[in-house]
């Protein structure tokens, strides 16, 4: 496992990060989830990403338990705040009240005195940005948070935060952005990536496998395989339905000969593609089985040549989405991506 700096700061993260979004505490049994974390550690992964809202805190609890006994200084733990964790009006957003309460609750669930990276899970237009930045700054000064990041913010929102931090005389502690990014979904390329590269903000990207579609396990005209996320219960099918259209699945299958020629699985090809992009510090993977972790982690260190990257672009062609207006609208996929009856549900 290789490591990269997270932006221009001093924190280094593993090229592959292990995340537990819709798996730990919701779709995967406890013992299987613990085995996945152990497999991540065995593969040299040191960076772990979670959030207070994942399985309403159960994911943080499971991750904290899985890392118990691991030397704290040898791992980087990232979590997030903003999305609703309860029914009350203050159980969401980036107010001082919710940030402070959510951070303390996350620390308790994770069983740690501090998190390495604390991320604003979305932008909160209900709360003055100054209030948010000052609350985050207080957590850093208290030693409960080492670095700050954002997730699914637009270039304009990131720019506003950086400028306001300068006006307030705050150190520029935003070191990372966590966007959705993969071979198909490239909406951060026109605006977010150039801004972040200029400002020294690294990308900790999620969904490098596009909900597992880029592994090639979903085939046009066929039912999802047993045990796959699309065949599971819970919230997963409403997310993955946006990338199960037959036209998209057919095009993805055409990537298989490229992966075979490179001696890679399709999952390794997709993850290595994200790691080949300028500005990307790490790719977050999820898994329901430890062997998936072991396979996907080997994408670290793989370098794809320019001709292969060009072939991928040519093959995916008009299915690639680069619309910057969709930066914070991860569900707004192209119609030909989704199943015909997909309801396009809101994240909230």
Catalytic residue positions, numbered: 54
Per-position b or e across 320-339, b if 16+ CB within 10 A of its CB: beeeeebbbebbebbeebbb
3-state helix, strand, coil in the chain (%, to 5): 40, 15, 45
Residues 6 or more apart from 127 whose CB is under 8 A from it?
Answer: 93, 94, 95
Give the span between the Cα atoms of 332 and 242, in whole angstroms.
Answer: 9
Give the span between the Cα atoms of 211 and 215, in whole angstroms.
Answer: 9
Q: Tokens 């207080």 identify what position?
A: 138
Give the span between the Cα atoms of 58 and 55, in whole angstroms.
Answer: 5
Long-range CB contact pairs, 137-141, < 8 A, 24+ = 137/170, 137/171, 137/173, 138/100, 139/99, 139/100, 139/103, 140/173
Rounded to 10°, the helix 290-297/266-275 angle is: 50
**In 3-state terms, what secondary structure has residue 330?**
coil
Tokens of 13: 């993260």
């Amino acid at each position: 496992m290789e490591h990269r700096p997270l932006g221009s700061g001093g924190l280094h993260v593993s090229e592959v990060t292990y995340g537990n979004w819709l798996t730990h505490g919701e779709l995967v049994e406890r013992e299987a989830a613990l085995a996945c974390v152990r497999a991540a550690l065995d593969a040299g992964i040191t960076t772990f990403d979670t959030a207070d809202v994942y399985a309403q805190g159960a994911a943080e609890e499971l991750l904290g338990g899985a890392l118990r006994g691991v030397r704290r200084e040898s791992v980087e733990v990232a979590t997030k705040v903003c999305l609703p964790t309860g029914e009350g009006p203050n159980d969401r957003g980036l107010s001082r009240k919710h940030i402070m309460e959510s951070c303390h609750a996350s620390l308790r669930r994770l069983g740690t005195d501090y998190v390495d990276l604390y991320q604003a899970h979305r932008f909160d237009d209900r709360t003055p940005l100054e209030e948010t930045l000052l609350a985050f700054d207080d957590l850093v000064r208290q030693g409960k948070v080492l670095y700050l990041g954002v997730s699914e913010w637009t270039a304009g929102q990131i720019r506003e935060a950086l400028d306001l931090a300068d006006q307030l005389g705050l150190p520029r502690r935003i070191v990372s952005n966590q966007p959705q990014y993969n071979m198909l979904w490239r909406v951060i390329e026109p605006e977010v990536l150039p801004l972040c590269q200029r400002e020294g903000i690294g990308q900790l990207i999620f969904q490098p496998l596009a909900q597992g579609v880029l592994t090639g396990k979903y085939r046009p005209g066929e039912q999802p395989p047993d045990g796959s996320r699309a065949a599971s219960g819970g919230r997963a099918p409403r997310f993955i339905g946006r990338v199960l259209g037959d036209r998209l699945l057919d095009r993805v299958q055409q990537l298989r000969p490229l992966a075979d020629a490179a001696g890679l699985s399709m999952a390794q090809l997709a993850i290595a593609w994200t790691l080949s992009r300028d500005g990307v510090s790490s790719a977050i993977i999820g898994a329901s089985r430890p062997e998936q972790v072991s396979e996907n982690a080997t994408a670290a260190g793989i370098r794809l040549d320019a001709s292969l990257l060009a072939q991928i672009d040519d093959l995916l062609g008009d299915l690639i989405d680069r619309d910057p207006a969709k930066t914070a609208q991860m569900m707004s996929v192209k119609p030909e991506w989704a199943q015909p009856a997909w309801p396009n549900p809101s994240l909230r």
